[in-house]
């Protein structure tokens, strides 16, 4: 990359030098022509002047003298050698000018496309205009009531849809009948999460995953009786169930013997599960072939160093003969699902930072997949003509429909606050008694971890105080506006990971004497008391207590942080296995020029063990991750994966005035190392003293 940059710079400099030489030649020629014109004009003036003063005889003499001068000049021009410029040189100069102009135009185009303009509409080749996350529809304006709203019969289809919805840090199941009323709640778990719902083919049951009893198990909800039963009872992660066409079996993913594989289990639990895949790489997200014989299962595997879709034939049940459906080394496919007629596989993948829905014919695997629209987590309609998929717009989710005969057109089905997960579409409608009851009541849950209580606001800045958060940090302080949600997040991490990961921080509050790292703005949210950062160097530990997964979203690079659970916890009781290759930052210094230029590379394998998604827990409590700055590949301090912030819709200046007077803020902005005229007021919070921070798990 560096050599290419040097070559481009050299060509640009050469072109600029040639353009300068050509411009100088043109300028000299024009100066010479101007000199001749001025000389002729001066001669005419002298001639007129002498005619007035000396009369005709003098005029005749001057004319004879001027004719002699012109004759002598003509003789000199006849004997002078005329040097003409080489035509090849003229052509090279023109090509150089064209090259320089083209390079300048390309630089301008690149800068325009990579500018931080989130309002730009985006289109994908092969599809029509897609919904853009930064242009929300007016129907999804956030309100105090998070109850989803339903459009009437958006796809002119029928049946019922079940889906998971994450609100207040918990996943629960919801469902609605197409075109008939609003969604209703099916579960109200507050001690865990209910997710991955899928209808049985006969439309009478819903299988799903839950850790409501402390461990990830499979459950079946009977829609005719409203009763829920536990299908599995053994310590290991289990998830993503899928039904056989006769509703007699379930395939699912499970983590056993330090490996994530596909298993098959009778739906009545009458016998032990059978292991289907055994490759050392993770195999997950199974989807059972829906046709009558149903002897195939599609799934995602990382066996070739990238997430690809495979189809295994149950008649042989051999991974060696599994059919590879996709082959995209730079794209990770996810969430495969069959159409009800078995002719299509729909799936999602992130391409150029956009989550996109694809459809591929199973009888023409060499053909390019069809693009349906922007989104993820697809599900088919019972007639195989329509798809539903999820689009996330900030804190709101859309469940939209697309038609395979009319790509690029997305029709909204529901909009809601929260994060919609997996969904499933059945032909049957919801039971009338369930609709009449309005579903199960909302749980009497404790306040969300995003809620903060603060002292009364003052009339003039500083409006609030800094509060002690009782952690190990250079300045263990946060604004009174966000300290409660941080403490709640910290306790949540202890509960989910088994130890106090956030009990020791690299940074919390920066006072005004703190200088940002090179290349970073002074408008860092650590100055506001609304940000915290953990130790960035934990990633270099061996083994590391954290793993970091790269996520390119739109034109930005984000990082998802996973905490490895404490080693003394029974495997399966906390966390989940990883399904992505983490990023290897240490490879920057391995001597590999590509890894150095790209700021690292993917690790060669997925680490074993159970992990907790710190990024998700932080978002549940209102704390947002930061995108890396553009120069992150060459400047490690620009990665920013270690920092979380809570803005709550206010600007940086407004946040500063919450803890600083206007005079102090002006002093801070006016100099390189300003010192406030008065220190921010600091008060302590009533919090039980924490135990010593455990050593990160080995």
For 267-343, where are the E strands, in sequence order?
274-275, 283-288, 296-301, 308-313, 323-324, 333-338
Same-domain check for residues 416 and 490: no
DSSP 669: H
Residues 620 and 672 in one domain: yes
Specify whether the CB–CB gap between 532 and 644 falls below 8 A. yes
For residue range 388-437, what is the model confidence (pLDDT) as tens digits?
A: 999 998 889 999 988 887 655 557 778 899 999 999 999 999 999 999 99
DSSP 468-526: E--SBSSS-EEETTTHHHHHHHHHHHHHHHSS-GGGB-SBS---TTPPPPTT--S--GG
Same domain flag for 427 and 470: no
Is the residue at 620 inside a domain? yes
Domain that residue 664 falls in: 466-683
Distance CA 549, CA 611 (A): 12
Q: Among 113, 135, 160, which residue terminates a domain?
A: 113
Its sign, for the CA torsion 282, 284, 290, 292, is positive
Last residue of a domain, one of 87, 113, 139: 113
Q: Is residue 140 part of a domain?
A: no
CA 295 to chain centre: 36
Q: Please indicate, yes or no, if residue 146 is contained in any of the structural domains.
A: no
Q: Assess whether 300 and 397 both reside in one domain.
A: yes
Q: Are 427 and 471 found together in one domain? A: no
Q: Any idea what DSSP says for residue 129?
A: B
Residue 566 lies in a domain: yes
Domain end (from 391, 422, 437): 437
Can you give the CATH number for the domain in which 195 is found?
2.120.10.30
Do residue 170 and residue 103 come from a single domain?
no
Q: For residue 651, is it within any domain?
A: yes
In this structure, are 61 and 178 located in the same domain?
A: no
Same-domain check for residues 620 and 557: yes
Please provide the average confidence, as pLDDT, over all residues in the chain.
82
Whether residues 95 and 180 fall in one domain: no
Q: Rounded to an integer, what distance in angstroms lies between the CA atom of residue 117 and that of residue 207?
A: 42
Whether residues 542 and 429 share a domain: the answer is no
Q: How far apart are CA 287 and CA 338, in angstroms?
A: 7
For residue 179, count other CB atoms closer than 10 A to its CB: 17
Q: What is the pLDDT of residue 484?
A: 97
Do residues 157 and 383 touch, judged by C-beta distance below 8 A?
A: yes
pLDDT at residue 412 in the model: 72
Q: Do 160 and 76 have their domain in common?
A: no
pLDDT given at position 228? 96
Residue 144 lies inside a defined structural domain of this protein: no
Which residues in the chain land under pLDDT 70?
Answer: 1-102, 105-156, 406-410, 671-698
Q: What digits encode the pLDDT tens for the residues 258-316?
A: 999 999 999 998 899 999 999 999 999 999 999 877 799 999 999 999 999 999 999 98
Same structural domain, 109 and 155: no
The number of distinct structural domains making up the chain is 3
């Amino acid at each position: 990359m560096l050599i290419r940059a040097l070559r481009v710079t050299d060509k640009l400099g050469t072109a600029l030098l040639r353009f300068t030489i050509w411009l100088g030649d043109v300028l000299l020629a024009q100066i010479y022509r101007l000199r001749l014109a001025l000389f002729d004009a001066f001669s005419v003036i002298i001639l007129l002047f002498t005619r007035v003063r000396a009369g005709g005889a003098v005029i005749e003499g001057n004319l004879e003298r001027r004719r002699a001068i012109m004759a002598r000049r003509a003789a000199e021009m006849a004997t002078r050698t005329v040097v003409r410029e080489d035509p090849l040189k003229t052509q090279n100069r023109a090509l150089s000018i064209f090259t320089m102009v083209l390079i300048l135009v390309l630089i301008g185009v690149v800068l325009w496309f990579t500018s931080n303009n989130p309002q730009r509409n985006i289109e994908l080749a092969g599809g029509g205009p897609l919904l853009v996350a930064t242009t929300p529809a007016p129907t999804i304006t956030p309100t105090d009531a998070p109850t989803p709203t339903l459009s009437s019969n958006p796809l002119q289809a029928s049946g019922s849809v079940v889906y998971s919805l994450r609100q207040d840090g918990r996943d629960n199941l919801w469902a609605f009948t197409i075109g008939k009323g609003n969604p209703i709640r099916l579960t109200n778990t507050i001690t865990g999460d209910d997710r991955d719902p899928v209808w049985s083919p006969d439309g009478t049951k819903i299988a799903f995953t839950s850790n409501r009893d402390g461990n990830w198990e499979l459950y079946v909800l009977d829609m005719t009786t409203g009763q829920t039963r536990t299908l599995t009872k053994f310590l290991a992660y289990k998830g993503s169930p899928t039904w056989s066409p006769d509703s007699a079996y379930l395939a699912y993913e499970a983590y056993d013997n330090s490996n994530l594989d596909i298993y098959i289990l009778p739906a009545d639990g009458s016998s032990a599960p059978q292991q289907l895949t055994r490759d050392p790489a993770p195999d997950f997200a199974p989807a059972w072939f829906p046709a009558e014989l149903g002897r195939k299962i599609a799934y995602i595997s990382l066996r070739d160093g990238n997430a690809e879709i495979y189809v295994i034939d149950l008649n042989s049940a051999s991974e060696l003969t599994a059919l590879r459906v996709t082959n995209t080394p730079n794209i990770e496919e996810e969430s495969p699902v069959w159409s009800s007629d078995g002719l299509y596989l729909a799936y999602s993948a992130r391409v150029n930072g956009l989550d996109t829905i694809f459809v591929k014919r199973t009888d023409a695997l060499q053909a390019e997949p069809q693009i349906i629209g922007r989104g993820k987590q697809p599900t088919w309609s019972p007639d195989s003509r329509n798809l539903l998929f999820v689009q996330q717009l900030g804190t709101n989710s859309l469940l939209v429909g697309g038609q395979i005969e009319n790509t690029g057109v997305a029709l909204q089905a529901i909009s809601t606050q929260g994060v919609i997960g997996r969904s499933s579409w059945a032909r049957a409608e919801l039971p009338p008694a369930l609709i009449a009851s309005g579903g199960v009541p909302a749980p009497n849950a404790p306040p969300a971890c995003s809620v903060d209580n603060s002292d009364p606001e003052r009339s003039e800045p500083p409006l609030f105080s800094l509060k002690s958060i009782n952690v190990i940090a250079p300045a263990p302080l946060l604004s009174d506006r966000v300290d409660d949600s941080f403490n709640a997040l910290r306790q949540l991490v202890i509960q989910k990971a088994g130890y106090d990961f956030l009990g020791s921080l690299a940074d919390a509050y920066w006072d005004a004497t703190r200088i940002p790292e090179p290349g970073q703005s002074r408008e860092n949210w650590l100055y506001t008391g609304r940000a915290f950062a953990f130790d960035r160097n934990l990633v270099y530990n061996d083994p590391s207590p954290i793993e970091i997964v790269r996520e390119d979203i739109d034109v930005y690079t984000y990082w998802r942080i996973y905490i490895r659970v404490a080693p003394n916890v029974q495997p399966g009781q906390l966390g989940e296995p990883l399904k992505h290759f983490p990023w290897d930052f240490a490879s920057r210094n391995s001597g590999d020029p590509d890894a150095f230029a790209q700021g690292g590379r993917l690790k060669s394998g997925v680490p074993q063990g159970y992990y907790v998604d710190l990024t998700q827990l932080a978002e549940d409590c209102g704390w947002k991750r930061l995108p890396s700055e553009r120069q992150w590949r060459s400047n490690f301090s620009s990665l920013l994966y270690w920092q979380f912030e809570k803005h709550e819709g206010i600007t940086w200046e407004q946040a500063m005035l919450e803890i600083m007077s206007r005079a102090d803020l002006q002093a801070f902005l006016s100099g390189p190392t300003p010192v406030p005229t008065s220190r921010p007021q600091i008060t302590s919070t009533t919090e039980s003293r924490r135990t010593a921070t455990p050593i990160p798990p080995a």
